[in-house]
Amino acid sequence: MQNHIEETDFQTMIRQRSIRLFAFLQEFVQLRSKVTTWVDHYEKVIWLSDIPEGKGCYSIFRKENEHFGDSDVWLEVLKAGTQEVPAPPPALHPWLDPRQLTDPNRNIPELLNRIPNPRFRNRAGHGDTAEFLYLEEYKSQLAPLWKQYVTQSWRPWAERNRSHQQVQKQFAELYSIYQHQQKFAEAYEVVLGIGCLAWNTPGGTRIKRHLLTVPAEIAFDAERGSIAVGPVAEGGGLQLEQDMLEAGDRPDTDDQARIDKWLDKIGHRIADLWEMTSLLRDWLHSIPADGKFIDSLQPDIEPADYPQISLSPALILRKRTDQSLYNAYAEIIEQLKTAETIPGGVTSLVSIPAAGPRPQPEALPAYNPLIDGEIYFPLAANEAQRDIVRTLKRQDGVVVQGPPGTGKSQTIANLICHLLANGQRVLVTSHASRALQVLEQMLPESLASLAILALDDSSYALQKLEDSATGIIERYNHWEPERTRKIIKALRTRLGDARRTEARILRDLQALREVETYEYLLVGDAYSGNLASIARRLREEAQLYGWFPDRPEKEAPPPISDEEALELVRLLRKVGPEEEKILRM
């Protein structure tokens, strides 16, 4: 009984410590986060009320588009082409300034007061003597032509081009956000804001910011020349943002729970303006202060001493915040409060592990012929990388750090393959999706197809996720255990042969090295040492003894005659041991 009580007390202590740890992390995230209270302080804001009406622009927030309530496109802008200015009548053309003629933002292109006389000649020539033609003299002829041209041709062209310029301006703004999103997706996010709150709070904070946001994705279609804004492919529900408000200015717990359920029900289907309006009115009636709802798409409300909310939808580019991390910590805390047991990884953070063998992971599948102590690294590895595997066998985790270019990604790829070969699941997380893409490229093709890759919330990432799941299902459906056993057996044989070949080559290298380091005594003791030192000495003495050929050519004539050779032999035979010793000195 005593043991049971002690165990319960220990678990209670671990639970309390774990909750305090994640509460601390949650508060730390909140302290380091800078709260934005004014929407214009974001990197870029496009108010949807500024999107021009007419051909080339579509928005779900317009009355004429209400029937597109379930559409996955919230906003679309087509690239506007520039139309050439209509040609004026030939008689009128010289009297018009080209700069005014091609400027659609002018009221009208005015006639010039004078123009050069095309028939003017020099003093000695013929023709008119007047250098210029003046409007007063030709006004009666030109005025009807000018009026007809401006009314029927130029003014309609200018109106169309002014509209095209507005469309093109919005297209350029959206394309700028699109490029930013593509390059810096890890650091920036694009959201659609709805329900702009303007309020000078009782605490003295001046606020103008959207209450409701939903993650957005911008898609560029080069073939059509269009930019479309819609919901992200996955995980993009409607969110209520209240971090700019004090706790006393927000709805109470019960009202907040009701609003949260409403948000979950809506998800990313935000096209129903009536429901958006009802949700914002509900929030406004749930806070302590008396407020006012303004049914307008315009963003021109200013903060007052009472809260005001207008629809005022806007597309916002902003830096990513730690709100998701804050919410994750909150969810972990709730799970720790109700969990039957605290996970071992959390327990090790808040207590000193007991002495003894490391607990083994969950039981592996019955069929796993690779559990043999082998290190399965498909890429090149050094001894330090192999030590990581050995360390993981003794403890729960290991930290590997180093500057860029030191092989961390390659080490991770090797570890993934080794752990998978040992029947374990592997989760790889990264702050940037680019790092995961690099890692995927390092994995062998046979293993890369088994990876569930979730890069971000874009449509491309969702397609990659679907492809990964399809590949795994395909492999599972065509799994043949007996054939796999034969393949493993054949690969083991190849691995054994390769290792025996490696051992033989290493022995040969060792023998060659020993030959190089062996101490030799040649020509008595005149030449001694290893082969390298003897070779150096021979090279140094080449100038001194190089005249004497070691291996004369077979066809070369002998340097001495037969009689001289016999005389040399006779003299050598006369030399005794004592004389030879003296000659060697």
Which tokens is 333 given?
């805390």
Question: What does the mean pLDDT of the chain come to?
Answer: 82
408-417, 455-464, 482-491, 547-556: segment of lowest average pLDDT = 455-464
Confidence of residue 291 (pLDDT cuts 50, 70, 90): very high
- Report the share of the chain in percent with pLDDT over 90: 22
What pLDDT score was predicted for residue 227? 92
- B/e letters for 532-547, b = 16+ CB within 10 Å, e = fewer, are eeeeeeeeeeeeeeee
Angle at 157 between CA 156 and CA 159, to 5 degrees: 65
Confidence of residue 366 (pLDDT cuts 50, 70, 90): very low
What pLDDT score was predicted for residue 47? 94
**Is the pLDDT at 68 greater than 50, yes or no?**
no
What is the sign, positive or negative, of the torsion defined by CA atoms of 405, 410, 416, 422?
A: negative
What pLDDT score was predicted for residue 511? 82
Do 44 and 176 meet the contact criterion of CB atoms below 8 Å apart?
A: yes
Residue from 207, 217, 201 nearest 72 by CA: 217
What pLDDT score was predicted for residue 423? 80
Residue type, 505: I
Confidence of residue 452 (pLDDT cuts 50, 70, 90): confident
Dump the DSSP string for 13-81.
Answer: HHHHHHHHHHHHHHHHHHHHPPPP-BGGGSSEEEEGGGSPPSTTEEETTSGGGGGGTT-S-SEEEEPPP
Q: What is the pTM of this model?
A: 0.62
- Largest Cα–Cα distance of the chain, in whole Å? 142
Which tokens is 313 given?
């939808």
Which tokens is 227 given?
């930019």
Dump the DSSP string for 310-342.
Answer: E---EEEEEE--SHHHHHHHHHHHHHHHH-SS-
What pLDDT score was predicted for residue 5? 43
Confidence of residue 121 (pLDDT cuts 50, 70, 90): low
Confidence of residue 284 (pLDDT cuts 50, 70, 90): very high
Distances (CA, A) of 360 to 11, 363, 394, 414, 419: 20, 8, 10, 22, 14
